[in-house]
Structure 1
């Protein structure tokens, strides 16, 4: 993968996280109720934005 493509993917991931994940009410609620690990698991496996970020990560590998 070229450097430019990699940088573009990383910028897209960062943009998604800033737009949707920063200050996410659901994430904060899950941390309070179930802990950080459960909240992280939810974000990776059930959140649509988390799934999209995961797809970008697979392209980077």
Structure 2
């Protein structure tokens, strides 16, 4: 049950903040897709939270 809740929270977070993210689009133009993704994972607060959800999901069975 916890796994389903984590997935729903991560999905909601992505819908609210990542769907039309200006920073991602701009970084994709300047740094490429890989650089934009790296920015999201390492510097964006939303990306950091999504990373935490992923770590919890990989540990939750």
TM-score norm. by structure 1 comes to 0.92
Residue in structure 2 matching 1:29, options 26, 29, 32: 26
1: distance between equivalents of 2:31 and 2:48? 20
Q: Give the gaps of 5 or more residues in structure 1.
A: none
Q: Give the aligned length.
A: 58
Distance in 1, Cα, partners of 2:23 & 2:56: 27
Which residue of structure 2 lines up, in the alignment, with residue 42 of structure 1? 39
Q: Are 2:54 and 1:57 equivalent residues in the alignment?
A: yes
The runs of 4+ residues in structure 1 deviating greater than 2 Å are: none
Q: Once superposed, what is the RMSD of the aligned Cα atoms?
A: 0.5
Deviation at 1:34, TM superposition (A): 1.1
Higher relative contact order (CA 8 A, sep 6+): 2
